[in-house]
Structure 1
Amino acid sequence: MEFRMKEHGFQGEFNFGTLDVSGDDKYGFRPYQLLAASVAVCSGGVLKKILLKKRIKFDDITIHVDIKRNAGGAQEITDIHLDFIIIGGNASKEKLAKSLEVARKNCPIVQSVHNSINITESIEQK
């Protein structure tokens, strides 16, 4: 992975496309957004695999992400809450909760930051 400096941030070229990263959201994704997105999407991807493996039916997954940052410090992320909304299906609350627990233990990004960022989760079905 390589990023090159631009006037207002950095840019990386990847197989999928160009990624612009900047402290100013007029010029690219802000680093904290990418970190929170990595936690959310990794968790969601692992959860999807688990639901499919368990043959739990669903139509879609939406993840709402709430972030808290330390305003008195370096603006570091202190907390991330992930609210998973499972659209469709008829799984019990217990099966969904257990699946989410397994996803948390198997998401490499969550495991990479779990000692430095408080990550909480909730799950519901609509």
Structure 2
Amino acid sequence: MELIQPSEALELVHANGNWLLDRESGFSPVQLVAASAASCSTYVFEKLLDDRGIPYEMKKVLFEYQLDVYYPNPVSQIDVRFYLKTRDRDCEEIKQVFFQIAENCPVIQSLHPRIKTNAFIVFI
């Protein structure tokens, strides 16, 4: 991977178009940390459900993060909310799989232990 700086903003080089790493015109590095945790959690959750043959439809995933109030204001918390459509009879099994996300997500495993990660399921 390569970072370049053709202007004031850094860019992460990608074959399908560079990513701007600037809060004003792209994504800040902190936003990318939170997005990485949310997307990895989603991939892991879907894989665990698919491996068990549990039918579901992932309607959307929302996430937010909080920064610590003290300098240097590191990420203190990441919340991920999964909106799933499934049959009522599969909800309990999905909840059991849900609790395996953190132990199977390499991004969450890579975060500092002080960063609290929370995940929630909303059945729709």
Unaligned runs of 5+ in 2: none
> Which residue, 15, 20, 42 being the options, matches 2:40?
42
**Contact 1:56–1:89, Cα closer than 8 Å, also in 2:** no
Instruction: Give the match's secondary structure for 2:117.
Output: strand
Tell me the C-alpha RMSD between the 2 structures: 1.7
**Contact 1:93–1:124, Cα closer than 8 Å, also in 2:** no
Q: 2:97 corresponds to which residue?
A: 99
Q: 2:13 corresponds to which residue?
A: 13
Percent of pairs identical after alignment? 23
Q: 1:31 corresponds to which residue?
A: 29
Q: Shift of residue 87 of structure 1?
A: 2.2
Note the alpha carbon deviations across 1:30-86, whole angstroms, 9 max, x for none. 111111000000000010111111111112242221211113321211011111111
Unaligned runs of 5+ in 1: none
4+ residue stretches of structure 1 with deviation over 6 A?
none
For this pair of structures, how many residues does the alignment match?
A: 124
Against the structure 1 CA distance between its residues 62 and 97, is the aligned structure 2 distance closer, same or farther, given a 3 Å change threshold?
same
